[in-house]
Amino acid sequence: MSPLDPALLPTFLAVCDAGRISAAAKVVHLSQPAVTAQIRKLEETLGTPLFVRSARGVVPTPAGERLVTYARRVQRTLEEASASIREGEEPLGTLTLTASTTIAAHVLPPVLAKFRATYPSTPLRIEVGNTEEVLVAVKSGRIPLGLVEGHSRAAGVHLEPYVDDALVPVIGRAALFRVRRLRDLADVPILWREPGSGTRAILDRALRAAGIRKRPLPTDLELASTEAILGAVAAGLGVAFVSRWSIQAHLSAGSVQIVPGLDFLVRRTFLWAVPAGGLQGTEARFYAFARSHPPVVA
């Protein structure tokens, strides 16, 4: 058996993450035939198919799933090596980022704290907006690096997975209504983020896929931040689906609770928004550092 070529692993992971050869080709800046050839070479080296192909795209075989674990481990090891070597260097200048609200409030802070501990003299500038605003800022070149939720693709911007998340259904202890089954969501008030929010887009798709509702009800509320939504939940104004990263303090305080018995989680991934031309300077260094020091939800 020929030795496995580690240079093929980024393409393999891109196909796994994108679910389509064509989408993966754009991520790794190769033609579709070149991506197909690299996957075929991996399969020939390992002596087994790595993907099941259909009209809807590709999904990893059991062998492919096992290779994902090792490929990500190799990727993290290389990123850690790069970050470790760079840790003794002086940063190049101000770190400028933009992130959607949940990420800025709950995911970025521990990563920034570790980065600041390593590079104590680095100025930080973080701009917060909803997902659409972040993508516009990165695509236009106004801000060189972003983190978003809710999109699988965006024109002019490369989206790369960072950490996983799930939207969890929560209700206030003071609520005058109960949610016992999924279909109850059709009749109770739901608290929504504003249009342009990645959280709103994902929740809307998930509810439609479950056949729950087509549009917000007159009794629904629309609020422009997760904290405002959690405050409204605590007051009994409706049910909300919020990031598991954002609810830990509220659960501990007892102001909200996860809806008991409702088996409906909306899974998603927080994504890096990287400009088409790639990263340079301090942002490139932070990107490598953050990928090798991912945050962990409480």
Are residues 192 and 222 part of one domain? yes
CB 297 within 8 A of CB 202: no
What pLDDT, on the 0 to 100 scale, is given for residue 99? 95
Residue 246, domain member (yes or no) = yes
Specify if 1 maps to a domain. Answer: no
Q: What is the spatial distance between Cα 57 and Cα 159, in angstroms, rounded to a whole number?
A: 18
Query: Is 277 found in the same domain as 225?
Result: no
Contact at 8 Å (CB) between 182 and 154?
no
Residue 23 lies in a domain: yes
The partner residues of 159 in beta bridges, in order of sequence, read: 273
CATH number at residue 239: 3.40.190.10
Cα-based angle 33, 35, 38 (whole degrees, multiple of 5): 110
d(CA 159, CA 148): 9
| Same domain? 100 vs 178 | no
Point out the domain boundary residue: 85, 108, 125.
85
Query: Which helix (DSSP H) or strand (DSSP E) does residue 36 occupy?
Result: helix 32-46
Q: Please state the separation of Cα 228 from the chain's center in Å.
A: 22
Tell if the pTM clears 0.75, that is, is over it: no
Would 297 be classed as within a structural domain?
Answer: no
Same domain? For 151 and 274 the reply is: yes
Q: Which of 29, 64, 85 is the last residue of a domain?
A: 85
Q: Let me know if residue 298 belongs to a domain.
A: no
The pair of three-digit structure tokens given for residue 150, joined into one six-digit string: 């809710």
Give the pLDDT confidence score for residue 93 in this predicted structure: 87
The domain total for the chain is 3
149 and 101 fall within a common domain? yes
Query: Do 11 and 142 fall within a single domain?
Result: no
249 inside domain: yes
Mean pLDDT by 10 residues, the chain (298 residues): 83 90 87 93 93 90 92 81 63 87 91 88 91 92 90 76 89 85 86 86 86 79 90 92 88 88 84 87 90 80
For the chain, what's the residue count? 298
Are 150 and 224 in the same domain?
A: no
Domain boundary at 41, 68, 85, which?
Answer: 85
CB 147 within 8 A of CB 134: yes
Give the side-chain half-sphere CA count within 13 A for 172: 18
Q: Which domain holds residue 287?
A: 91-162+269-292
Residue 10 sits in the same domain as residue 105: no
* Spacing of C-alpha 162 from chain mean position: 6
- The strand pair at 266-275 and 157-172 is best described as antiparallel
206 within some domain:
yes
Same domain, 148 and 281: yes
